[in-house]
Structures are given as C-alpha cells and as structure tokens.
Chains A and B, each alone.
Chain A
C-alpha cells in the first residue's frame, strides 16, 4: 500500500460514515486511528449520541465481522467468550466449544460499564492477545480484532468503573459530545424522514492490516520519541521531576503502553494528513484520547473537579513545543 492509497482510503471511509453520522469528525478520526493501529477504543458519552450506530456503520463500510454485546449487570463472561456445550455426534457425546459474540472482527461492547468487573475482565485476554481461553483451550480471534466499547459516564447509576488493567488496554478513549445546533438539525432531518444511507464497502480486514503495516513504517525523529517519553513521565507523580499539579491530583500516571499509543497514533495521524513522518504536533493532538484513561486521579482531584484532560493539557503546556 502506498501512502496515497492510505490517505485516500481513510478519506473514503470518512465520506461513507458521513452519510449517517452528522459531525463528530474528530471522533471518527480517532476511531479510524484505532482501526489502523489495531487498537481498541472506549467511547464515552451519554445515551443517544449515536455511538452504536457509528460503530455499526464502520463495520459495514469496512466489511468486518461485527458483533454486538449489550453489557448488563447479569452478563456472565461465558456469555462473551463462549462456552463448552455437550453435543452428541454419531452416538458419542462430547463437549464442543460454542463461540461467543467476541469472535468477530469488530465487537461492540455496548455500555460496557454496566457489567460487573468480572464480566468486563473477560475481555482482557481477547483485547491484549487476540485469543480466548476456555477450558484450557485457547482460541484465536479473527484478525484484525477490535473492541469498541461504549460507556456511560460513571456518574450515572448502575455503572461499574472499568478495572485499570482493562482501561490500559484501550488504545483511545474517545469522548462524544452533543452535536451543535446545525448538526442537530441535520440529524433531525435525516432521521425523521425517509432518508436511507447505503454504504459502499471501502476496505476490508486485509486493507486495514496493510494500512497498519504501512503506518508502522512511518519514520519518527529522536526528538519526537523524547517528547512522547517526557509527556508520559511527566504524568507520573512518582517521578522525581514531576510537577506539583501531578503530584497533587494524580494517583498513577501513564504506563509505557501510553507512550506506545502516543507514537502509534501520531504516525497514523501523520499519514492520514499526507505527511511521511510523525511530529510533535501529532503527539500533542493525540495525547488527550491516548492518555486520559491511563491517568488515575485521586480523591482530591475528584472533589475539586479536576479531570485527566486538564492534567494532560497542563503537561503539554508546560513542556512547550
């Protein structure tokens, strides 16, 4: 795949998604980054903002096996991964593995924070290794494998915060906000009429793998690596040189996965914009969705209403260009 094809593919995907998704360009860009990076995305927003529709549309545009799991408090891990069932074949009864909904290219874990942490943790191996182990038997998931989870703000009732280990496995955490007036009017116009969008398949799983391979070849200067490292280190209150704001409000900073995510996303963003190298500006632009779910704030930050985005913004501002 050439860089031009890469850029063109992404533009076509955007175009197709725009048929059903009004606005939310940044959210779509970040989702596409996840797709190219073979990463998982956590999408947070109040109900009714089109999260599920957006992910379902992506699967259609990219011709990916799509599976949706509605997380509920009584959902069990086996409901996700699959389970062994007793089958009778030619008079012999034996256990066979019945794949769960996780066996798909793109899994929509809808309202993932409504399930218990035990069930949420069922996704850990799948997200990190791309495999599922049931009864000592490991099953590979189709590649590329994506988990796009949606969640409601944790302040809402009946939600369970995701475990830190699972949060760290999401490449990006994408926040969806309300559409503006113009976009709202467009949404109303489309959804309350006979408007029907028919998607054109732009790419497939192999295309995404090729795009991922190309993105990994994007050259990165040493200074950009250093910049990403500085940001991640600055988010850790345990560091000797950490700043007062970080020490005061952050319980745990970003893991090395955060730095990896920064570089990966910066590379894809650069390619998506027609450039052949990642820059500091790319790092800065992807820092918020990449790191916001990796910074665990303490109680004081919650009391004072400090968000991870504010901390990251301060870090970037302090580091300068």
Chain B
C-alpha cells in the first residue's frame, strides 16, 4: 500500500514535470515567434519593404525548433522526483524511498520504515504542487517585449525607402538626358524610364539592374564625348565655337559672317573630325553643325546654340578655348595685311614678314595648331628671302593711310617725343624695322585709330593686347 502510494506519487510528479516542460517550451517558442513576427512588421514598416507573405512564415521557425527540441528538455523522472523532494522539504526521503522501491521490495527494517515514513509524509501532498513553479522569466520578458514592440508599431516612423531616394535621381538623370539627342542617349533614357517604373513597383532589384545598364551605356557615351572633346581641343579651327557656346553673340555673328569658302572649309574639317568620333552627344551636335554650315547657313546659330545646350558638361572645357578664337581671328587679319604688304614690298627686301609673326608669341603661345592653320592662308611678303631676325616688325599700310599723309619717320631720340621725322632716318612704308623703334609711334597711331573707330569694334581688344604683348617682348 505504502509502496504503491510512493510509486504513484513519483509517477505523477514526473508527469507534472513533463507537462510543465512542454508548456514552458511551447510558451517560450510562441513568444519568440510572436516577437519575430512583430520584428518583421517593424522592419516592413520602417523600411517600407512590402515583404511578401512567405517571409512572415519564418516566425514559425522558433516554435518548430523548440517543439523539436523539447523532448530533450523534459526532465528525467529522477530529476523531477529530486526536485519535488527538495521543494517539499523531504530531505531526500522521497528520492531514497523511490530508489529503494525501484530496486524491489524493502530488504531491511530501515528500508521498510523509510517507505512507511515517506508514504505518511506524502499522504497529504498533491503531486500538482510537488514541483516549484517553473521559471517564466524568459517567456515573460519575451511577452513584454512583444507587447511593447506591437504597441509602438503604429507610431513607427518610416525611413525613406530606397525607391524614394532613387526616384529623384532617376528623374534628374532623365531631365539631363532629355537634352541629349544621340541614339545612345535614347537608349539610356529608355533604361532610366524602365528603372523608374520598376522603383515605383517596389521592384528594387530589377530597377537596380536597369540603372546599372543605363550606367554602362552612359559611361560609353561619356567616353565618346571625351574623345570628341580631345579632338576639339586639338582642332584650332573649331575654337571659335567656344565663344558661341559660352553665350557670346559676337563670335556667332562672326561665324555667320564667314565667307562661303570659310564655311565650306570649316564644314570639311568638321566632317573629318566626325569620322574619328564614336557615337556620342558631341558627335551628334557636330554633325548637325556641319550640315548647317554646308546646307543651311541660317541654322548655324541655332545649331551652335543647341550644341552648347546639349553638352553642358563639356561647355567648361570648350570655353577654355575662347581666347584662342580671338587669336585665330586676329592672326587671319594680320596675315591678310602681310599678304598685301608683301605685294608692295621691294624685291630686294632683306627680311621675311611672315616670320615676323613670331614676335607675337606673347599672344600665340601654345597655339601651334593655330599657326599651322594660319600658314595655310599666309603668304610671306617676300617669299624666298631670309627670315627676319627677332625684334623686327612689318610696317603695315595703315600707317601710310594716315590722315596727315606724311611719310613715317621713326623717332630716334626721345621715346616720349612723337615726331614723324627723326634725325634724318626715314623708314619707308611696307619695310621692316626693329619694332622697338616704331612701337611708340605704332601705339599712338593705333590709339588714334581706335578713338576714331577706324578698327572694327571686335578687334579693338585684340589690337590693344597686341601692343601690350609687344611691350612685354624683350
């Protein structure tokens, strides 16, 4: 009777322990799952990810794992009985009696007394209360955390998702590329539009791929434009474009006022350069400009302006060539003057007027291409004669056309004394002399001419800088 009571009590205790373990593990698993679910909601809310519903099934994993693991966490019956023994204050009485009975019937008087004593001790005890209350600290913490996170969920701020950050970028890119009209640019624009649509559909991965493709195409286009820019920089004949691209109307007017021969030559050069260019925005612009120069001179201005608008990134680079445009124009005038002077020069002239242009190095520094191009037009006043030494200058006909109609006499004494006659030495028109001898007179003459607006307005600055460079020449 006593033995049965003890055995039954121990079995009930073991069952109770198993039940507690199952409840505790299940509760913990549920709490972890709930917490995981709320965290997924948090992530979805904060980052506006629009997670697909299968993702939420991940929250079942903790429950499943604990359910699979719980058989290992169920305490052994001996452990449960020992726990109950301690909890009931039996001082190993129940454990000892259980062990005695597990070996069989009590074998001596002490074991019999022990069984009897233990049976009496547990008679009033319930197995349900034999075990200490399980520690629910972990599930309680999890539950609290879950509740707090759930309550805070509606008030969570949303971090601007990637698509919101991408949309303005894509739209800005689209605005830029809308001004570019090359075929490749159209492809890039189509890719950007596709990326924009994908972002709006929260298909970030596909949108990213479309953007990458657009980036590759853009890089190719930029490479082409870089090559175009490099060629432009090496082509002084096209440098006049810079002023036009920079918004200055005067060079555009000059461009429009080019003679048909000049326009044809410029178009030919453009055509030559275009054959070297890959597809790109600048190439497209140059093609249009070349076509306008050949066929529709009236469109030159608009095409040039269009070219400046479609290549904003290249404008600064081209603008750097503005100074060279004026040099090219002034060089052309000077060459024309030299050509006329050469016709009037005596056959036995000792110097070469074409080489005299070398004294303008202060203006033409680094413009080898320009000098090369100019050489195409220039004709020396005395072909075949020896080169003029540095420091000599050609005396233009403008001086002969002075209002006084007096022969020019260089001042030999007193540079501040403006005299048309010197101490007996006279320089004939169209000849060459040391520019230092004539510089004050030239400057004075030029100043007078500018005051009387004898020079074209666009050349006044050129003339001023011309004399300034002469003054700086040693």
Using CB atoms and an 8 Å cutoff, list the residues of chain A in contact with chain B. Answer: 2-3, 214, 217-224, 271, 275-281, 321
Contacts and interface: CB of A to CB of B under 8 A. Distances in A.
B117 A276 contact: yes
Given A217-B108, A221-B92, A224-B92, A276 B113 contact: yes
Contacts of A278: 92, 96
B223 to A, nearest CB: 70
B109 interface: yes
B82 interface: yes
Contact of B114 (A214, A224, A276, A281): A276
Contacts of B86: 321
Most chain A beta-carbon contacts within 10 A, residue among B78, B100, B113? B113
Given A221-B95, A222-B99, 16 more contacts: A3-B110, A219-B99, A219-B110, A219-B111, A220-B96, A221-B92, A221-B99, A223-B82, A223-B95, A224-B92, A275-B117, A276-B110, A276-B111, A276-B113, A279-B91, A281-B91
Interface string B92-135: 11011101100000001111011001000000000000000000
A228 to B, nearest CB: 12
A223 B100 CA distance: 13
A34 to B, nearest CB: 21
Nearest to B98: A221
Given A222-B99, A223-B82, A321-B86, A280 B109 contact: no
Contacts of B93: 275, 277, 279
Contacts of A221: 92, 95-96, 99
Contacts of A281: 91
A276 B113 CA distance: 7
A47 to B, nearest CB: 40
A214 B110 CA distance: 8
Contacts of A276: 110-111, 113-114, 117
18 contacts: A3-B113, A214-B110, A219-B100, A219-B110, A221-B95, A221-B99, A223-B82, A275-B91, A276-B111, A276-B117, A277-B93, A277-B97, A277-B114, A279-B91, A279-B92, A279-B93, A280-B91, A321-B86
B401 to A, nearest CB: 115
Nearest to A220: B96
Contact of A2 (B95, B96, B109, B114): B109
Interface pairs A-B: 7 shortest CB-CB: A276-B114, A277-B96, A279-B91, A221-B96, A279-B92, A221-B95, A276-B113
SS of B interface (majority): helix
- Interface size on B, as a range, is 10 to 19
B82 A219 contact: no
A223 B99 CA distance: 10
A278 B86 CA distance: 14
B92 to A, nearest CB: 4
Contacts of B99: 219, 221-222
Contacts of B113: 3, 276
Most chain A beta-carbon contacts within 10 A, residue among B95, B110, B113? B110
Nearest to A6: B110
Contact of A217 (B82, B97, B110, B117): B110
Nearest to A215: B110
A3 B112 CA distance: 11
A12 to B, nearest CB: 21
Interface string B318-335: 000000000000000000
A280 B89 CA distance: 12
B76 to A, nearest CB: 12
B114 A219 contact: yes
Most chain A beta-carbon contacts within 10 A, residue among B82, B92, B100, B109? B92
Contacts of A219: 96, 99-100, 110-111, 114
A244 to B, nearest CB: 28
Contacts of A222: 78, 95, 99
B78 to A, nearest CB: 8
Interface in B276-296: none
Contacts of B111: 217, 219, 276
A218 B100 CA distance: 11
A321 B91 CA distance: 10
Interface in B79-95: 82, 86, 91-93, 95
A223 B95 CA distance: 8
A224 B85 CA distance: 13
Most chain B beta-carbon contacts within 10 A, residue among A221, A224, A278, A279? A221
A160 to B, nearest CB: 42
Contacts of B100: 219
B88 to A, nearest CB: 13
Contacts of B109: 2-3, 217
B211 to A, nearest CB: 61
A219 B100 CA distance: 8
A217 B95 CA distance: 17
Interface in B43-91: 78, 82, 86, 91
A3 B117 CA distance: 13
B441 to A, nearest CB: 109
A276 B82 CA distance: 17
A219 B108 CA distance: 9
Nearest to B94: A221
Most chain B beta-carbon contacts within 10 A, residue among A3, A220, A277, A280? A277
Contacts of B82: 223
Nearest to A267: B110
Contacts of B95: 221-223
Contacts of B117: 275-276
Contacts of B114: 219, 276-277
A281 B91 CA distance: 7
A259 B278 CA distance: 96
Contacts of A223: 82, 92, 95
A3 B86 CA distance: 25
Contacts of A271: 110
A281 B85 CA distance: 13
Contacts of A2: 109
A89 to B, nearest CB: 51
B108 A280 contact: no
Contacts of B110: 3, 214, 217-219, 271, 276-277
Nearest to A4: B113
Nearest to B79: A223
B77 to A, nearest CB: 13
B107 to A, nearest CB: 8
Contacts of A280: 91-92
Nearest to B111: A219
Nearest to B115: A276
Contacts of A220: 96
A278 B96 CA distance: 9
B103 to A, nearest CB: 9
A219 B109 CA distance: 10
A7 B91 CA distance: 19
A267 to B, nearest CB: 9
A273 B243 CA distance: 117
Most chain B beta-carbon contacts within 10 A, residue among A3, A219, A275? A219
B315 to A, nearest CB: 79
